[in-house]
Amino acid sequence: MKKSKDEFVTKFAEEMQLPLSALRDTFRIELRSNGEMFVEGCSGIVEYDENSITLSLRSNSVTVCGFALEITSFSECQAVITGKITSVAFAVTGG
């Protein structure tokens, strides 16, 4: 039985212990209340200060505004932002 491309990518991500968004042109954002935000699929930090953080998400970007914002964790494709989050905005930056 032939496996689809999606099944292969999913299995490969599991085996390599990577988030699925790292292998696809997608991102995932999880907001826990207004104090913590998880981002999968980010490819870099565009702007960072205590009131505004912008992350690139392949052909998009996300800007988080608030107070006492901090990137508490950042890896190749994941970020965790904490602080008092007041708004989240998306922009298409290419493609």
The residue-averaged pLDDT of 50-73 equals 93
Is the predicted pLDDT of residue 4 greater than 80, yes or no? no
71 in a domain, yes or no?
yes
Token duo for residue 28: 């995932």
Spacing of C-alpha 84 from chain mean position: 18
Range of the domain at 27: 22-92
Whether 48 maps to a domain, the answer reads yes
CA atoms within 13 A on the CB side of 11: 6
CATH at residue 35: 2.60.40.2000
Residue 17 lies in a domain: no
- With respect to residue 76, please indicate whether it lies within any of the assigned structural domains: yes
Please tell me the pTM assigned to this model.
0.73
pLDDT tens-place string over residues 25-55: 678 889 998 999 999 888 889 999 999 999 9
Residue 65's CB is within 10 A of a number of other CB atoms, namely: 16
Q: What's the mean pLDDT when you consider all of the chain?
A: 83
Q: Does a structural domain hold residue 15?
A: no
Q: What is the mean pLDDT of residues 59-81?
A: 92
Residue 13 lies in a domain: no
